[in-house]
Amino acid sequence: MTAEIINGKDLAQELRIEMKEEVSELIQNGLTPHLTVVLVGDNPASRSYVKGKEKAASEVGITSSLVELPDSTTEEELFQLIQKLNEDPGVHGILVQLPLPKQIREQEVIETIAPSKDVDGFHPISIGRMMTGEDTFLPCTPYGIITMLKSRDIEIEGKHAVIIGRSNIVGKPVGQLLLNENATVTYCHSRTDDLKAYTQKADILIAAIGRANAITSDYIKEGAVVIDVGINRLDNGKLTGDVDFDGAIEKASYVTPVPKGVGPMTIAMLLKNTIKAAKGLASVGK
Ligand SMILES: Nc1nc(=O)c2c([nH]1)NC[C@@H]1CN(c3ccc(C(=O)N[C@@H](CCC(=O)O)C(=O)O)cc3)C=[N+]21
Of 118, 147, 159, the C-alpha closest to 274 is 118
Give the model's pLDDT for residue 247. Answer: 98
Local confidence band at 66 (pLDDT 50, 70, 90 cut-offs): very high
- The reported pTM is 0.97
| 231 annotated ligand binder | yes
Length of the chain: 286
Strand ranges in the chain using DSSP code E only, listed in sequence order: 4-5, 34-40, 63-69, 93-96, 160-164, 184-188, 204-207, 225-228, 232-233, 239-240, 254-255
Local confidence band at 43 (pLDDT 50, 70, 90 cut-offs): confident
| 167 annotated ligand binder | yes
Give the model's pLDDT for residue 45. Answer: 80
First-residue to last-residue Cα distance in the chain: 50
Ligand 1 binding pocket includes 49 (Cβ within 6 Å):
yes
Average pLDDT, the chain: 96
Cα-flanking dihedrals φ and ψ of residue 74, to 5°?
-90, 160
The predicted-structure confidence for 252-277, as pLDDT tens digits, reads as follows: 999 999 999 999 999 999 999 999 99
Helices and strands: H and E segment counts in the chain: 10, 11
Q: Which of 231, 240, 260 to mutate to test the pocket of ligand 1 (most atoms within 8 A of CB)?
A: 231
Query: Domains (ranges, CATH) in the chain?
Result: 30-114 (3.40.50.10860), 140-263 (3.40.50.720)
- Percentages of the chain per state (helix, strand, coil), in multiples of 5: 45, 15, 40
Q: At what angle do helices 262-279 and 44-60 cross, to 10 degrees?
A: 60
Give the model's pLDDT for residue 281. Answer: 67
Ligand 1 binding pocket includes 98 (Cβ within 6 Å):
yes
ipTM above 0.95, yes or no: yes
The predicted-structure confidence for 116-162, as pLDDT tens digits, reads as follows: 999 999 999 999 999 999 999 999 999 999 999 999 999 999 999 99
The predicted-structure confidence for 185-194, as pLDDT tens digits, reads as follows: 999 999 999 9
User: How many CB atoms are closer than 10 A to CB 42?
Assistant: 11
Residue owning the nearest CA to atom 30 of ligand 1 = 263
Is residue 251 pLDDT above 70, yes or no? yes
- Measure 178 CA to ligand 1 centroid, in angstroms: 21
- Measure 93 CA to ligand 1 centroid, in angstroms: 17
Contact 173, 142 (CB under 8 A): yes
Of 258, 250, 262, 254, the C-alpha closest to 156 is 254
CB-based contacts of 119, cutoff 8 Å, min separation 6: 35, 92, 93, 94, 95, 137, 140, 270, 273, 274, 276, 277
Contact 82, 116 (CB under 8 A): no
Residue owning the nearest CA to atom 17 of ligand 1 = 263
Ligand 1 binding pocket includes 260 (Cβ within 6 Å):
yes
Ligand 1 binding pocket includes 123 (Cβ within 6 Å):
no
- Measure 32 CA to ligand 1 centroid, in angstroms: 24
SS3 for 21? helix
Ligand 1 binding pocket includes 110 (Cβ within 6 Å):
no
Ligand 1 binding pocket includes 97 (Cβ within 6 Å):
yes
Is residue 285 pLDDT above 60, yes or no? no
Give the model's pLDDT for residue 12. Answer: 98
Is residue 48 pLDDT above 90, yes or no? no
Catalytic residues, by residue number, are 53, 97, 120
Q: Mind giving me the DSSP string for 128-155?
A: HHHHHT-S-PPPHHHHHHHHHHHHTT--
| 105 annotated ligand binder | no
Give the model's pLDDT for residue 286. Answer: 43
- Measure 196 CA to ligand 1 centroid, in angstroms: 28
